[in-house]
A = this chain, B = another copy of it.
Amino acid sequence: MPQIAYLGPPGTFTEQATRLLTEDFDADLVPYETVPLALAAVRAGEVLAAGVPVENSVEGSVPATLDALTTAEPLVAVQEAVLPVQFDLLARPGVALSEIGTVASHPHALAQVRSWLSENMPGARTRATSSTAAAAAEVAAGEFDAAISASVALDHYPSLVRLVGGIADVPDAVTRFLLVRRPGVLPEPTGADRTSLCAVISDEVGSLVEMLAELALRGINLSRIESRPIKDRFGEYRFFLDFDGHVADARIGDALTALRRRCSSVRFLGSYPKADRSPASVRPSASEQAFQTSANWLEDLRAGRLA
């Protein structure tokens, strides 16, 4: 059974997401203490892949993930999962809401349920733990009265019960995770794919516009952009881009070669099915057939076959 790393400990949102990311095959999930350690295990071949947070995470520091993906040997994403940020209030059986004196969780999770706590448990004191799962563990051990955790925590601490579910202050927040592994055969295109990459360009007026125009001119829909400074390379800037389409698609391939010519470096971070399975809309001038027809036409021109 393949081993899959994730940002631990067991019972966190990343475990929940990694289960979703590996639901199509039997996998043995192995927790790692940090994202860089999980990715190092993939690079070293100790595990097949790793489940890591990439956007708006509760426990994982997302800049850490982006930086860890782009330093050391390349890795590629092969699957995406999007989880609603749903917190449960866990306690030992028979404990009533009014009896809870202490509530534990990761500081970021506590911040995201603060309104709910002050409305529903105004007397309870909050306690910080290193993760939402560690909070459940301490409640099971009798250290605190209640934990704010992911629902998957109940699988690891069966002595606890869900006292209240869905207590996040902002009910529609989501967290995005990727399953990443060493480069190899890519996932098949599905028509509803996303491609991620990190591009480094010179810090000049207009260089970002020119790079993004390469995507826009080919009808490629950008779904996310984030700039991150490069500390050791003065005068350059790093951009993380996500856009609709698969590297096997003609328009994506054509755009990638243009970025490769234009940027100081381009790191391909994977083409994988989008979690929401919404198909890419492709304008007629950027279709596979349009690229094929125009390539044939150019070939004819160059061969003197002006028919």
Contacts and interface: CB of A to CB of B under 8 A. Distances in A.
Nearest to A128: B130
A261 interface: no
B222 A208 contact: yes
A127 B128 CA distance: 9
A131 interface: yes
A129 B104 CA distance: 11
A128 B135 CA distance: 10
Interface residues of A, number: 45
B208 A220 contact: no
Interface in A214-234: 215-216, 219-227, 231-232
Contacts of A114: 33-34
A223 B229 CA distance: 9
Contacts of A204: 221
A134 interface: yes
B225 A64 contact: no
Interface string A57-80: 001010110000000000000000
Interface of A: 33-34, 56, 59, 61, 63-64, 106-108, 110-111, 114, 126-131, 134, 172-173, 203-206, 208-209, 212-213, 215-216, 219-227, 231-232, 239, 283
21 contacts: A34-B114, A61-B111, A64-B111, A107-B107, A107-B128, A107-B130, A107-B131, A127-B130, A128-B130, A128-B134, A205-B219, A205-B222, A205-B283, A206-B216, A208-B216, A208-B225, A209-B212, A209-B213, A223-B227, A225-B225, A225-B227
